[in-house]
Amino acid sequence: MAFAARTLTQFFDDLASSAPTPGGGTASAMAGAMGASLLMMVAGLPKTRTNIDEERSALDRCRTTLGDLRRSLTSAADDDAAAFDAVMAAFRQPKTTDEEQARRKAAIAAAMRGATEAPRSTLDLCLRALAIGIVVAEHGNPSASSDVRVAAQLLQAAAQGAAANIRINLDGMTDLEYRDAVASATDRALADVTAAVASIEHALNG
């Protein structure tokens, strides 16, 4: 069953269990989905900042795109767990003969890359949601400013959590070109996340 299809209690129990998945990557994606959902709520409120037609149209577009991002983030929660399960399966492969060791090494490398790409997707989705959050902050009902702030903080935490998972996976990689490229991209994405959150705060205070 997809994590998004479970009750909150079931999902929390899954996180609290000693099973290797779901873990921080899945939790990050779900936190991002919560942030996107809150922005959807604000974008869908009947009143906007100044109640002009252009604002209504802009917020309607935001709500539609945020709905797509929320669905992608809930899918990312499942993808992250599946990717880590693949890593565990690769490590369990036999390693008695030289041939088995070679196959196991290749499987681990491929699985580790998959486990890195999963949180990279989460990080990208959170950044895209935050960019839309700027528009919601600019045009949304000021009475819901606290909801926008909570959404921004959830998305920022989700992005930081995804980055933490990326970095821990990169530590064990031997492909230095890939490792350096992903590390640099992650740093840039986090800087963009910080800037987006600051822009949201500025719009709310404007």
CATH of domain 21-205: 1.20.120.680
- DSSP secondary-structure letter at 52? -
pLDDT at 206: 79
- DSSP secondary-structure letter at 144? G
Domain boundaries defined on the chain: 21-205
- What is the C-alpha separation between 52 and 55, in angstroms, rounded? 6
User: What is the DSSP track for 174-202?
Assistant: --HHHHHHHHHHHHHHHHHHHHHHHHHHH
| Mean pLDDT computed over 168-192 | 95
Does residue 129 surpass a pLDDT of 90? Answer: yes
Q: Looking at per-residue confidence, does 84 or 206 come out higher?
A: 84
| Mean pLDDT computed over 88-95 | 94
Token representation of residue 185: 């991209």
- What is the C-alpha separation between 118 and 79, in angstroms, rounded? 6
Confidence of residue 75 (pLDDT cuts 50, 70, 90): very high
pLDDT-above-70 percentage for the chain: 100
Euclidean distance between the first and the last CA atom of the chain, given in angstroms as a whole number: 44
Does residue 117 surpass a pLDDT of 90? Answer: yes
| Mean pLDDT computed over 191-205 | 97
| Cβ contacts of 180 within 8 Å, gap of 6 or more | none
Burial profile 103-136: b = 16 or more Cβ within 10 angstroms, e = fewer: ebeebbbebbbbbbebbbbbbbbbbbbbbbbbbb
* Mean pLDDT rounded to a whole number for the chain: 96
- What is the C-alpha separation between 67 and 115, in angstroms, rounded? 25
| Mean pLDDT computed over 103-116 | 95
